[in-house]
Amino acid sequence: MDSKRKSFAFLLSGTLILLIALLVLLTNPIEPRKKKSGNSNPVSETQKPQETSKTQQVGNNLSAFLGDDKFFDPDESWREDSQTNAQNNLSLIMTSVERDLRIQVVDIHRKPVTGESFYVKLEDQGEFKDLDKDGVIYIADLEPGEYYVQLMPVEGYHVPVSKTRIRVKEKVECSAIEDIELLIKKASQVDTDVEDHRVQDALLDSDTTEITKLQTVSGGAKIGVDVSSRQGSIDWDQVKNAGIDFAIIRAGYRGISSGVLVEDAMFETNIRGAASAGIAVGISFESQAISEVEAVEEASMVVSLIEHYKISYPVYLIMDGAESKGRADTLDVTTKTYITEAFCNTIRKEGYQAGIYGSRNFFHQKIITSRVEQNDIWLAEYRSVPLYQGYYQMWQYTSKASIDGITGKVNLNIAYSKAE
C-alpha cells in the first residue's frame, strides 16, 4: 500500500506542475521571433519606437482600438486637401466648326476658369493667349487637319501633362456643338439695355386695316402668342382660358453689340408655365450672327436649352435689325441666306422642325427665299389681308393685341399647319 500511495502522490504532483505551467503560458504568451530585415544594423536609441498610448495597438492586443472613443471619427483634413487640389485641376474642351478652333479652359465642373491669362501652344502654329481672361481662346483661319494643343503651366493650377489632339474642320457641318452651354450667358450677366434690342420690320409695313383682336379660326388653324422677357410675368392659365392654343417662346438672343449668346430671362418660366397650362410650344431665337459658324452656335444654344421640353411647333430664326446698331444689320443678302441655312440645317439635323420669321419686305429683299422655303415660313404682316404672295405656314397679324394674363400689348398669330 505504501508503494501505491507514493506512486499516486507522484502522479498528482506532476499533474499540478503541468497545470501551473499551462496557466503561466496562457497569461504571458511568448511573442513570435521577428524576421530580420534587410538592414542588419542595430537600432540606435533615437531609432527606438516611442511609447505607445493606450488607444493604440499594443503588442498582440488586436482589440485595443475598442478603447479609443475617437477611433471611428473621420479625419476630414485629407479630404479637404484633396478637394482643394482637385479644384485646381484644369482641362481643355475644344471645338471646331469651320477652319477655326475654340479652346475653353475649364475646371473639374466643366466651368470656364476666368481671371487668368492662359496660354496654349498649338503645334507648328505658336502660342495663343486668353487676352480677356474669360477662359476662352478662339483661333481663326486655320488649315483643316489634326492639331496638338497643350496648355502651358500656370502658377497655382495643375495642367494636363500630355497634349490634346483636335481635328479642325474644313467646312461647316451644321451639327450641334456639344459644349455650347459654356458660352451661354444669363441675362443678369449682360447689359440688356444695350444687347437686347430689335425693331420689327413688319411695323414699317403695317396699315390701318391691322386686326388687333383675337380672331376666330377654322379648318384646323390655331391661335397663338409669341413672348419673351419683354412681356414680364405671364399668367398662363389665364392665357389658355382666353382662347390661346400655342405660344412661340423666345429661348434667347445674340447681343447686338458684343455678340454674346444670352438666354432669355423668362425662358424657363415661360416654357414651364405654358406647358403646365396645356399650351403647345414653339421656339424663337433673335439672331445677330455674322457668319455660318455663329449661326451654328445659335442653333446649338437653342438645342441645348430645349432638349428636355416637348416642342410642338418649329424653332424659328428671327433676323430683325436693330436700327443699324446691330452687328449683323449691314450683312448682304447672300450672307444672310447662308446664315439662315446654317441655322435651320442644324436645327433639323437635331430632330426639330426649323422655321424663319420675317416681314414681307424681309422675304422679298433681305434673303433668297427660294433657298430656304423647305423650312416653315412665319410671316409678319400687319394688315387684314397679307400682300405677300409666297407660301407661309404661320401669320403674325398684329403686334397690338391685349390678352388676359399678359401685361401690355402682345403679338397674335394664326398657325395653318398642325403642331407635331
Portions of the chain given CATH number 3.20.20.80 = 180-415
The CATH H-level (homologous superfamily) assignment of domain 180-415 is: Glycosidases (3.20.20.80)
pLDDT of 15: 65
The correct CATH number of 89-168 out of 2.40.110.10, 1.10.10.10, 2.60.40.10, 3.30.2350.10 is 2.60.40.10
HEC profile for the chain?
Answer: CHHHHHHHHHHHHHHHHHHHHHHHHHHCCCCCCCCCCCCCCCCCHHHCCCCCCCCCCECCECCHHHHCCCCCCCCCHHHHHHHHHHHCECEEEEECCCCCEEEEEECCCCCECCCCCCEEEECCCEEEECCCCCCEEEECCCCCEEEEEEECCCCCCECCCCCEEEEECCCCCCCCCCCHHHHEEEHHHCCHHHHCCCCCHHHHHCCCCCCCCCCCCCCCCEEEEEECHHHCCCCHHHHHHCCCCEEEEEEEEECCCCCCEEECCCHHHHHHHHHHCCCEEEEEEECCCCCHHHHHHHHHHHHHHHCCCCCCCCEEEECCCCCCCCCCCCCCHHHHHHHHHHHHHHHHHCCCCEEEEEEHHHHHHHCCHHHCCCCEEEEECCCCCCCCCCCCCEEEEEEEECCCCCCCCEEEEEECCCCC
Q: Look at residue 74 in the predicted model and tell me its pLDDT.
A: 57
| pLDDT at 417 (0 to 100) | 84
pLDDT at res. 110:
84
pLDDT, residue 73, reads 57
pLDDT of residue 88: 86
Within the chain, all domains assigned CATH 2.60.40.10 are found at: 89-168
The pLDDT of residue 323: 82
pLDDT in tens, the chain (420 residues): 555 555 555 666 666 666 666 665 555 554 444 443 344 444 344 344 444 444 444 455 555 545 555 555 555 554 545 455 567 899 999 989 888 999 999 998 888 899 999 999 998 889 999 999 988 999 999 999 999 999 999 888 999 888 999 999 988 888 999 889 999 999 999 999 999 999 988 998 889 999 999 999 998 999 999 999 999 999 999 999 999 999 999 999 999 999 999 999 999 999 999 999 999 999 999 999 999 999 999 999 999 999 999 999 999 999 998 888 899 999 999 999 999 999 999 999 999 999 999 999 999 999 999 999 999 999 999 999 999 999 999 999 999 999 999 999 999 999 998 777
